[in-house]
Chains A and B, each alone.
Chain A
Amino acid sequence: MADNVFIALQNNAEAQPIIAAIAADNPDAVVNASPGMVKIDCPGRLVIRRTSIEAGLGRDFNLQELHLNLISLGGNIDEDDDEFVLSWQR
């Protein structure tokens, strides 16, 4: 779909809490697991919340740590300390 945004992360132990947080915060998101990679597609807008990741991870999390396991993403980024949002709106 043309207005889907996506984020692709490495499928490893560190990324699991991030993937779980994204799936929980974005009910419309579709999680596609491939070998070594998880690609999450979502119509319109996808939000990654720091607090949700911290809850699953059990420690403080800096959203910049996302990049350690990030493969690719599609969408315009709106980022602050608490949220990392992908969408096609400007």
Chain B
Amino acid sequence: MPIDLKTTSIEPLRKTFDHIAEKLGGDKPATRYQEAVWGLQPQLNFHYRPTWDQNHALYDPSRTAIVMQDFDDLVDPRQYYYGTWTIQRGRQQDAQERNFERVEKRDLLAGLDAVWRDRLTRFVLPMRHVAWAGNTNNSAICAYGYGAPITAAAGLHMMDELGVAQYISRIGLVLDENETTLLDVAKDAWMTAPMWQPLRALVERTMVTQDWFELFVAQNFVIDGLLYPLVFDRFDARVVAHGGAAFPMLTEFMVEWHAESARWVDAMLKLAAAESAANRQHLESWLAQWLPAVAGALEPLAVFAFGDTAALHDVTADLRTRAGKLGLGA
């Protein structure tokens, strides 16, 4: 007896959630990222004002001068939500772990000459304190920000900054055969060396910056945008030339991560600036305020690390070009 197989096609009643469909402008298949971030921001029924800030509701869009019709528009081009982010970082962590293992096992940094070892200690290792500030600042953006797309990404960015701080600490341990003497020297440089004090003062200023979008510009665009190319690109190259050929293996994650996260940072500024002329003005005035301040604070450090400020001028010019590409004069 012949058996006739039939297929029945069942059309799903809806392709995504109603609030996502509303945002997409129709019932279309949405990405997991969109479903993970849109509409997540609590907006209603805040019965009481927080005791620590009577002028704002618990979640309040007016904590920044930036005004968005819809803060859900600030979407991350990398489309990171917890799943995709952990998979990507897990992969990078595996690679970075192997690099550390290889350098430690074969003692690949043994050939680094003493002068550059000292420079590395006083210039790169204190960066872990700057990275920790980046962690705290992004935590603040996540806490006081508005709209799940940017606050969620800031939460991930916060953990990434902590990861960078930890990797820098491990470089100190590798250089010192697991003793903490060099890390103590670096901490002391951060706290007392005159060349670090302008940057330390500036970093402390970011920690009391109230407007979370200004903090975003200062920390993620200006501070990281100058420091990462300066330390993990320009300085790396110098260390390599002086017997530290294995050093870039230990900073690979930082280079990769900075290039990747810069796409998110740039997208946030671009989207906010495109929203209104007032937003653009705020962003430009923050840039005009923070960029020269950070570049100035980095000057004594650049002189210590490179002997002159040529490299710093290069990365500052690059950052201005980057801002220009986003349509922001700086």
> Once the chains are docked, how many angstroms separate the CA of A35 from the CA of B10?
7
Do the beta carbons of A58 and B9 come within 8 Å of each other?
no
Count of B residues near A, CB < 8 Å? 11
Across-interface contacts of A17 in B (CB, < 8 A): 31
Whether A59 sits at the interface, judged by CB under 8 Å, is: yes
Task: Let me know if A57 and B79 touch, CB within 8 A.
Answer: yes
**Given the contacts A16-B29, A17-B31, A58 and B77 also touching, CB distance less than 8 Å:** yes
- B161 lies within 8 A of chain A by Cβ: no
* B76 part of interface (Cβ distance < 8 Å): yes
User: A16 near B31 (CB under 8 angstroms)?
Assistant: yes
Given the interface pairs A34-B9, A35-B9, the reply to whether A58 lies near B76 with Cβ below 8 Å is yes
Within 8 Å of chain A (Cβ to Cβ): is B98?
no
Residue of B nearest to A16 (CB): B29
Known: A34-B9, A35-B7, A35-B9. A13 touches B32 (CB 8 A): yes
Give the CA-CA distance A16 to B78 in the complex, in Å: 16
**Interface size of A by Cβ–Cβ distance < 8 Å?**
8
Q: In the complex, what residue of chain A is closest to B88 when comparing beta carbons? A: A59
A residues within 8 A CB of B29?
Answer: 16
Report B286 CB to chain A, min CB distance, Å. Answer: 26
User: Nearest A residue to B32 by beta-carbon distance?
Assistant: A13
Chain B's closest residue to A35 (CB) is: B9
Tell me the complex Cα distance, A38–B32, Å.
18
Q: When chains A and B are docked, how far (Å) is the Cα of A59 from the Cα of B9?
A: 33
The reply to whether A59 and B78 contact each other, CB–CB distance below 8 Å, is yes
Chain A proximity of B245: nearest CB distance (Å): 27
Closest 7 CB pairs of A and B: A58-B79, A58-B78, A58-B77, A13-B32, A16-B29, A35-B9, A34-B9
* A–B complex contacts, Cβ < 8 Å, 17 sampled: A13-B31, A13-B32, A16-B29, A16-B31, A17-B31, A34-B9, A35-B7, A35-B9, A35-B10, A57-B79, A58-B33, A58-B76, A58-B77, A58-B78, A58-B79, A59-B78, A59-B79
